[in-house]
Structure 1
């Protein structure tokens, strides 16, 4: 068995029993690849925690307080000098696992972090074009040098220093079906509108339609989403729909905030 990499794989989960076995299995290569897998459970009622413990993960529990808060809490549990941010719906390919191992072949890398490219699979079809691919995200970084804003949705990491790109892909099995995609898009739109209103962002008439149209043209035509066939069309349409909804909700929330309170 080769030595484990000095990396803490950090995950936040809730009711992911159907997806976790594949995700956790991909972290193995004839044995554990990473020093530890830390799972922060936020209220699972299925077999999620049992699956994680059986796989040798260190499992902690906490009540849900928002994406960024929970993400930072999971990172704080890491005991290794490097953190790999992973979600339960993300599966590491063999190429990516080998690429990560190669970066530590001669000791710890000198850079501050690594970008990893994700590819979405939706109902058995890979989305290889449009706004969803390529999808580079900073996911492997030093545990003592990162920061994250307290955003309600679409949290992201910042580091100080050089950031490199890794070869290989991270499979993203994000949505169980089209209905799940729509439901999650609606939830993200509501969170985004709440977040931006709190930041003082203004809403303007016509913006929802204009931004949605721009996003559809960009994803479906300019970024060649049409090459993914019907799936590419549906993805571009759903993204445009979410853009329109979130800007519409922003306007509604601002109008609600401007109304005088009842006396």
Structure 2
């Protein structure tokens, strides 16, 4: 038998919080809520459930999760986002796991995460297929989140097992959210990761993404939601190269201006 700390990241999470919290409270021996600046009812809802909220400015998802893990009372942690809802089968598995013998510290478990866009379940959302199985239950003495700017993941464990059930990942709940995340993800990617600055490569990549993530994936069968996921993949593929090209052009212009000033002096 072992004890488990639940680490939950929040930011303007009131939309789903009353669905997210009850199953997590059922498995938690310790509960860490780490908020990065909510202005909606998130903090009030956490207070309703008797939870203390810690505050930390958001940089990247992996870094935020690692900070939450550092605040946990126990080494075994279950790391969750506030748009992920455990179902009964997943909940019962975790309860049974806790009741058994404590596993080796290098063991980890993967959540069965099913993606929902605009309230509808989808098969793909760039760059993943649904369901995906991210590692979220592990021992912090062996594992941590990496520092990738986008699509970070847990590293350091030796073996992992898929948890049964269906975790509802209710993301991209409005068009505003879709384009807001599209802009944020591509900006962080270009800022923290090397991307080749090329409009031509961006156009080629966007065309390939449209065929792969809209036509070949079958997203066209899902009506307007399929159009949204197809366009998301297309724009994402183009914008990361376009933003890299734009930033590179600005750098070249600044360098040219500095050369001119030096010659004048």
Alpha-carbon offset, residue 227 of structure 1: 4.0
Q: 1:64 & 1:47 partners in 2: Cα distance? A: 19
SS where residue 167 of structure 1 aligns? coil
Q: What runs of 5+ residues in structure 2 fail to find an aligned partner?
A: none
Match of 1:165 among 159, 162, 166: 162
For the structure 1 residues 253 and 202, does the alpha-carbon distance in structure 2 shift closer, same or farther, using more than 3 Å as the test? same
TM-score for the superposition, normalised by structure 1: 0.86
Tell me if structure 2 keeps the 8 A contact 1:11–1:88.
yes
Match status 1:179 vs 2:173 = no
- 1:95 paired residue number: 89
Match status 1:125 vs 2:120 = yes
Match status 1:212 vs 2:209 = no
- 1:71 paired residue number: 65
Alpha-carbon offset, residue 185 of structure 1: 0.8
Q: 2:66 & 2:139 partners in 1: Cα distance? A: 14
Tell me which protein shows more helix as a share of its residues. 2
- 1:26 paired residue number: 23
237-246 vs 227-236, greater mean Cα deviation:
227-236
Tell me if structure 2 keeps the 8 A contact 1:128–1:228.
no
Alpha-carbon offset, residue 103 of structure 1: 2.9
SS where residue 86 of structure 1 aligns? strand
Alpha-carbon offset, residue 150 of structure 1: 2.9
Give the alignment's Cα RMSD to 1 decimal.
2.3
For the structure 1 residues 234 and 44, does the alpha-carbon distance in structure 2 shift closer, same or farther, using more than 3 Å as the test? closer
Q: 2:213 & 2:59 partners in 1: Cα distance? A: 33
Alpha-carbon offset, residue 10 of structure 1: 0.7
Match status 1:134 vs 2:128 = no
The number of aligned residues is 254
Alpha-carbon offset, residue 223 of structure 1: 3.2
Q: 2:199 & 2:55 partners in 1: Cα distance? A: 44
- 2:236 paired residue number: 242
- 1:38 paired residue number: 32
122-131 vs 75-84, greater mean Cα deviation:
122-131
Alpha-carbon offset, residue 215 of structure 1: 2.1
Deviations 1:163-194 (A, max 9, x none): 11111121111122122111211121111111
For the structure 1 residues 45 and 113, does the alpha-carbon distance in structure 2 shift closer, same or farther, using more than 3 Å as the test? same
The residue correspondences of 1:147-166 to structure 2 (distance < 5 A) are 147-166=144-163
Tell me if structure 2 keeps the 8 A contact 1:36–1:58.
no
Q: 2:58 & 2:124 partners in 1: Cα distance? A: 34
Larger radius of gyration: 2
Q: What runs of 5+ residues in structure 1 fail to find an aligned partner?
A: none
Match of 2:222 among 228, 240, 244: 228
- 1:115 paired residue number: 110
Q: 2:111 & 2:208 partners in 1: Cα distance? A: 27
